[in-house]
Amino acid sequence: MDSNIKSVGVLTSGGDAPGMNAAIRAVTRAGIFNNMKVYGIYRGYRGLISDEIMEFKTNSVSNIIQQGGTMLKTARSADFMTEEGRRIAYENMQKHGIEALVVIGGDGSLTGAAIFANEYNIPVVGLPGTIDNDLNGTDTTIGYDTALNTIMQSMDKIRDTATSHERLFFIEVMGRNCGYLALNSAIASGAEAAIIPEISIEKDQLAELIEQGFRKSKNSSMVLVTESEVTGGAMKLAERVKKEYPQYDVRVSILGHLQRGGSPTAQDRILASRMGVAAIQALMEYQRNVMIGIRENEIVYVPFKRAIKKDREISREMLEVLRISSI
Ligand code: ATP
């Protein structure tokens, strides 16, 4: 049974991620394919409040699948965190006749989506758009694979200089409370270790690494570090090494925003396209308050509540792979 949704708005919110454009394209085309009007909402929730809304045709999203970033722009909106802000957002939706929303963003964006959907009883479907891979109920998020590849390519370059100078390098990557980016890029780039929030909360990873003599068989080392209060970040770790283990010649490289940019990988484009089409399908199937996820290569619907729960566990198997393969 199909729902009667005649018009849908699509927005990107929070941090940008490669593949968001592919998702916008898929949502737009799938909406139009199913006889809906599709509205592009610029600058996330901020644009929903300031009425930066435009009807999209199929060619509004031409030639974007290969581009990083988001053609809809993205923003953070403090106003959307207030009832008054969300009331204006709802009024703008009504003004344009927008009946449903597809929100592409990270956990903050989906938290806002859940609140808004409940407050005004609007059908909202979320797509996990974040390089951090920190959402529950999905194996991966849009942008994660591209970021991993970007980090891996940077690591290959850092390895050249680390090896030449026989240095210990701390390379800081994004991830906030989630160590997936650091752990998987450590495996992919042949790094010695990953200092990540999920493990740092349990023990002093730096001390353990040094005690285990992680440079025994090597003249240089690369250690990935998640940018997070729990790990302290790469700079703090390097300061500690200088003080506590002065025998090491230590350097820091913070990859920063270059991790977010670039043309999305094939995997991210395909994932975003599948998820975009699935979002429209979900709305037509009367799904409400769900994020589209992917598990074992199948599309799944994940209730917002579960998706944004901050308890995603790190893979012990991958930790083991890194530990074993870096001896
Ligand atoms: P990333 O993980 O890449 O940082 P994100 O979606 O988590 O992306 P946030 O800055 O946390 O990014 O959230 C984006 C926007 O979502 C916020 O600026 C705000 O407008 C909205 N938002 C977040 N939390 C809430 C909330 N509790 N209530 C209403 N809106 C919220």
Q: For ligand 1, atom 3, which residue shows the shortest CA distance?
A: 15
- Over its length of 327 residues, how does the chain's per-residue pLDDT go in tens digits? 457 899 999 999 999 999 999 999 999 999 999 999 999 999 999 999 999 999 999 999 999 999 999 999 999 999 999 999 999 999 999 999 999 999 999 999 999 999 999 999 999 999 999 999 999 999 999 999 999 999 999 999 999 998 888 889 999 999 989 999 999 999 999 999 999 999 999 999 999 988 887 655 566 789 999 999 999 999 999 999 999 989 889 999 999 999 999 999 999 999 999 999 999 999 999 999 999 999 999 999 999 999 999 888 899 999 999 999 988
Residue 292 three-state SS: strand
In a domain, 320, yes or no: no
Q: What is the pTM of this model?
A: 0.96
Two tokens at 194?
A: 């990953």
In a domain, 318, yes or no: no
Let me know whether 138 and 149 are in one domain: no
Q: In this structure, what CATH number is given to the domain that contains residue 252?
A: 3.40.50.460
In a domain, 314, yes or no: no
Report d(CA 288, CA 308) in Å as an integer. 15
CB atoms under 10 Å from CB of 254, counted, come to 16
Number of structural domains in the chain: 2
**Most informative mutation of 11, 12, 46, 81 for ligand 1 (most atoms within 8 A of CB):** 81
- Residues facing 293 on adjacent strands: 300
Let me know whether 22 and 138 are in one domain: yes
**Closest-lying ligand 1 atom to the alpha carbon of residue 129:** 3
Alpha carbon distances (Å) from 14 to 19, 119, 253, 293: 14, 21, 25, 18
Provide the b/e sequence for 77-99 (b: ≥16 CB within 10 Å). beebeeeebbebbbebbeebebb
Q: Tell me the catalytic residues.
A: 132
**Domain assignment of residue 22, given as a range:** 7-143+264-307
Residues 6+ apart with CB under 8 A from 35: 6
Q: In this structure, what CATH number is given to the domain that contains residue 296?
A: 3.40.50.450
Let me know whether 86 and 187 are in one domain: no
Let me know whether 247 and 294 are in one domain: no
- For residue 158, how far is its CA from the centre of ligand 1 (angstroms)? 33
